[in-house]
Amino acid sequence: MTTDVGTDDLAVAVDGRDRPIGLAVIGAGYWGPNLARNAHQSDALRLMAVVDRDPAAARKLAYRYAGVIASADLEGVLADPGIDAVAVATPAASHHAVASAAIAAGKHVLVEKPLAATYAEGLSLVEAAERRGVVLMCDHTYCYTPVVQRIREITHAGELGDIQFVDSVRINLGLVQPDVDVLWDLAPHDLAILDHVLPQRLRPLAVSAQAADPIGAGQACVGYLTLHLPGGAIAHAHVNWLSPVKVRTTLIGGSRRTLVWDDLNPSQRLSVYDRGVDLTDTTDTTGSADADDRHRRQVSYRSGDMTAPALPEREALQGVMTEFSECIRTGRAPVTDGRSGLRLLDILEAATASLNTGGTAVSLREGGR
């Protein structure tokens, strides 16, 4: 079984020495090869080892790169003083054990989503990293795409006005997972994006969830999350393993403008519309009009221009590796730090609690923080 514990380099200061940051990739399964390739291409990092409980899987990945060792011995790799950091690409159930061991060994840690299997495990990782003084970063890859970075700029600059709604759809004919439902499998992408692009004052306060298993797979295959935001706005996420078509869209509506992100349209991923609904403060003083007439006069529809910002195309994982290495070098917190991963776990656990109580809204521990 795959882990499931599974040059011309820019020199940087690591522990007082000028050299590239030594990195080990833990897990040679689905995501590990992507991490290894991008680490190998980074000037600031030096890929030194691949670790997997399956020695053959470790060798298969490590042998693509000269000088990279393959190992099934996580403890031995963590004891290597030349390895400064690890990238964890093992199943979520093992994230806590692997990352905890790395933090205890004084290594900086990049963890694939979700940060851990539970909020309590995630909190222990965050606190351990803070005590040890090492970087703990979540690989929320979408947050390092040019389009999501541009969306963050737009929302944080107030270009949309007051946020009124968020609507995201992530559906496809996907692999039904044996150990997690569709909310835990797909929604972390959308939750990470939402956490990244919305200003801190709009962080969710509560969540309600609905889900179904219409094919009897033993896990919910279709799910809906509703996040209750400060000020009365809501954010909605639809995730689905059963759709015969693939859809990846996000709408963020504001009082001034609305943006639409279609991730499957490379020629126009992002569109910003100056269209919406305005309410005018018109009071009927004649007393002759009924309530419906008064309401109609108060509502007006705005139809302005649409703009499509130009966006560069680059691999998001290169941005992840750049952020990770810069945070190790400078000591600053990553944009997607452990706390951001903890907020996602909070929402996912609350969503599960909501499902167990018939879809009622469940308050968040991290609500508004």
pLDDT per position as a tens digit, 136-156: 999 999 999 999 999 999 999
pLDDT digits (tens, 9 = 90+) for 155-191: 999 999 999 999 999 999 988 888 889 999 999 999 9
Q: What percent of the chain has pLDDT over 70?
A: 88
Predicted local distance difference test score (pLDDT) of residue 178: 83
Domain limit, last residue, from 116, 134, 152: 134
76 shares its domain with 147: no
Q: How confident is the model at residue 366 (pLDDT cuts 50, 70, 90)?
A: confident
125 shares its domain with 232: no
Q: Which of 22, 205, 220 is nearest to 107 (CA)?
A: 22
170 shares its domain with 116: no
Cα separation of 149 and 160, whole Å? 15
**Residue 155, domain CATH:** 3.30.360.10
111 shares its domain with 239: no
pLDDT digits (tens, 9 = 90+) for 57-102: 999 999 999 999 999 999 999 999 999 999 999 999 999 999 999 9
Q: Residues 6 or more apart from 261 whose CB is under 8 A from it?
A: 147, 151, 249, 250, 251, 269, 270
Average pLDDT score, the chain: 90
49 shares its domain with 120: yes
Predicted local distance difference test score (pLDDT) of residue 84: 97
80 located within any domain = yes
Q: How confident is the model at residue 294 (pLDDT cuts 50, 70, 90)?
A: low
347 located within any domain = no
- Residue with token string 């514990």: 5
Q: Which domain holds residue 269?
A: 143-315+355-363
Predicted local distance difference test score (pLDDT) of residue 305: 83
* pTM of this structure: 0.88
Domain limit, last residue, from 100, 134, 168: 134
Q: How confident is the model at residue 281 (pLDDT cuts 50, 70, 90)?
A: low
Domain limit, last residue, from 114, 134, 154: 134
27 located within any domain = yes
Predicted local distance difference test score (pLDDT) of residue 275: 72
100 shares its domain with 149: no
Predicted local distance difference test score (pLDDT) of residue 118: 96
Q: Residues 6 or more apart from 243 whose CB is under 8 A from it?
A: 171, 172, 173
226 shares its domain with 278: yes
88 shares its domain with 193: no
Q: Which of 258-295 are b and which e, b meaning 16 or more Cβ less than 10 Å from the residue's Cβ? A: bbbbbbeeeeebbbbbeebeeeeeeeeeeeeeeeeeee
247 located within any domain = yes
256 shares its domain with 308: yes
DSSP structure string for 192-227: HHHHHHS-GGG--SEEEEEEE-TT--SS--EEEEEE
